[in-house]
Amino acid sequence: MNEPLLVLDNVTKNYGAIEALKGISFSIGKGEVVALLGDNGAGKSTLVKIIAGGLEPTSGRMLFEGKEFLARSPAEAKAAGIETVYQDLSLCTNVDVVANFFMGREITRKVLGIPVLDERAMEAVVGKALASAGTRIPSLRTNVEHLSGGQRQAIELNRFVHWGGKLVLLDEPFAALGVEQTRRGLDMIRQVASQGIGVVIITHIMQQAFQVADRIVVIRQGVVAGDVARNKTSPDAVINMITGETLAGAGPAS
Amino acid sequence: MNPRTRHALEFVLDNLVWFMLLFVLVVFSIFIPNYFQLGIFANIIEASSVLGVMSIGLALVIIAGHMDLSVESVAALSAMAVGILFCSSGIGMGVQLHPEWLMVPVSLLLALAVGGLIGAFNGYLVVKVKMSAFIITLASYIWVRGLVLVVSGGRSAQDLAPAIRWFGIQRLIGLPLTAWIAIACFVIFSLIMARTPFGRHLVMIGGNETATFRAGIRVNRNLIIAFVLAGAIAGLAGWLLAIRTSGATANLGVGLLFNAFAAVVIGGVSLKGGVGTLPGVYAGVLLLSAINTAINLMGLPANFTQVIHGLLVLAAVLLDAFKQTIRQRLA
């Protein structure tokens, strides 16, 4: 494995007496795509939120680019170069496509020392980004509430591709996408990874994991139940890891 | 539907309140004798300045997805603070500053500070302690009004210093300066909401707070600023109110809150947050004022105003639902 980008070392998360994560350890390399699999309630989304700054771990530590790392807020994670696409979409449906694309990172120009939104510049960037990804949206000035589920998800995906960063977390990003859009989404992930960006993708669909991932990490009941290279395993073996029937290839990353 | 009719239709939907205002003005001008006069129109603008300014602050907080019921009492407290210091009779202390014009910035800053402080208090409890804005600001609505009664002892201050009164008397193109202050506030805050990252962020926070937090926007900071602004703007409304009445009474401005709510809702701001613009709110304020003036001119008993305002709010909400269905069909 090449240089690790993010290392998780025995990360735990308790909600009161409930141990959602009992000690997760694995690592993600630069330009590597890791598929995170596991049954409902296994702790995948909790883990993503901890990396993305939405939750603080109860114990354990993380190393990002070799340095101790803990994001206390999504803003901190973002500043460190971690982009996240959440399962329930993070779009403000009451504003237009451009405003969503630039949420929190608006292009401004100074007028009398006051930052003013540069709508034309932002619209140009969004138009280019969507066009190069092959996403068609009738008007970039339409409020997102009037767009379809697939169009919304496409905006989120294009957003992360555009902003890039160093590590991208995707929590079931293709739930609302059609076949063609999903294929394009998977291409996008490979393309992002080829730029040296680490990608963690949570998915329920085995086929997607095998299509896109370099490595497959299975979480079961708050621990890593399997961490294997994609070309050394099979969908059946992974399903067994998820349900806990076998412990083949089990154990945390060494 | 071709793009041009679609654009035209969207333009009408976006500015529906202004068209309603225009419609009402035309109808009144035709059917009510003496309505169509420049003096009447100037009066409509003048009479709406205090309510207009207060509505701006209320609208900011509602657009950001919260609520501020305290604006009316805050305005009253600011007016009372200015009244007590700078009025010469009643409970006024008649403080004199030299040169005289110095009283203008001092009284204005005092009013803004009183409002801003209460706004900061509300904002802190709502945002940091995570209590319901409705309850917190309802409490402020009550205790701040109580404070007005306490500091005034139920009595009033009269005869505001002429240097401050000057803003209510001096006219520019037929309107007193106080009305121009209200108009300037609408222009400035409309620009802030529509053209700056801060305004954009408030709208997005009102739409989906989680998403903005995840996007790294400092949600808490922005919300507290919104509450402080709402308080300070209410303070400004109180300053204008003190000028308008040349003093302050203990029950000054009672009932303004509900008019402000009506104006905000009629202006197209959704109580759910994230929807609405300030120019629309100004149109809502003017619409209420235009109707009040019509009722006065027709010699109807003033009690009718409330009935009509209430119906207008209902109509505005129904209209809003209707607008939504049209928009959905447009998209």
Q: Is residue B211 part of a domain?
A: yes
Q: Is residue B269 part of a domain?
A: yes
Q: How many Cβ pairs closer than 8 A exist between chain A and B?
A: 78
Q: Is residue B2 part of a domain?
A: no
Tens digits of per-residue pLDDT, B262-291? 899 889 898 888 888 999 999 999 999 998
Residue B243 neighbours by CB distance under 10 Å: 25
Which of B65-79, B181-195, B241-255 has the least mean pLDDT? B241-255
* Contacts with A54 from chain B: Cβ below 8 Å: 214
Count up the domains in chain A and report the number.
Answer: 1
Task: For residue A95, name the pLDDT band (cuts at 50, 70, 90).
Answer: very high
Q: Does the pLDDT at position A177 exceed 50?
A: yes
* Contacts with B209 from chain A: Cβ below 8 Å: none
Burial class (CB in 10 A: 0-12, 13-18, 19+), A22: middle
Q: If DSSP codes are grouped into helix, strand and coil, which group holds residue A217?
A: strand
Q: Is residue A150 part of a domain?
A: no
Q: Is residue B50 part of a domain?
A: yes
Strand order in the sheet with B157-160: B87-90, B157-160, B247-248
Query: Are the C-beta atoms of A52 and A77 separated by less than 8 Å?
Result: yes
Count up the domains in chain B and report the number.
Answer: 1
Average pLDDT rounded to a whole number, residues B129-134: 91
Tens digits of per-residue pLDDT, B241-257? 999 998 889 889 888 89
Q: Does the pLDDT at position A252 exceed 60?
A: no
For residue B245, what are the domain limits? 18-330
A207: CATH = 3.40.50.300
What residues in chain B have their Cβ under 8 A from chain A's Cβ atoms? Answer: 195-197, 200-201, 203-204, 206-208, 210-218, 274-275, 327-328, 330-331
Q: Is residue B62 part of a domain?
A: yes
Average pLDDT rounded to a whole number, residues A161-190: 81
Angle (CA) A88 A93 A94, round 5°? 150
A75/B200 Cβ within 8 A: no
Out of A75, A86, A116, name the one closest to residue B216 (CB). A75
More confident call, B97 vs B129: B129
Out of B197, B203, B214, name the one closest to residue A115 (CB). B197
B201/A104 Cβ within 8 A: yes
Q: Is residue A117 part of a domain?
A: no
Q: Is residue A66 part of a domain?
A: yes
Q: What is d(CA B63, CA B106) in angstroms, rounded to the nearest whole number?
A: 31
The alpha-carbon gap from A162 to the nearest alpha carbon of chain B, in Å, equals 14
* Contacts with B217 from chain A: Cβ below 8 Å: 75, 103-104
B53: CATH = 1.10.3470
B328/A146 Cβ within 8 A: yes
Q: Is residue B169 part of a domain?
A: yes
Query: Which of B233, B241, B286, B277 has the alpha carbon at shortest distance from B259?
Result: B286
A103/B212 Cβ within 8 A: yes
pTM above 0.90, yes or no: no
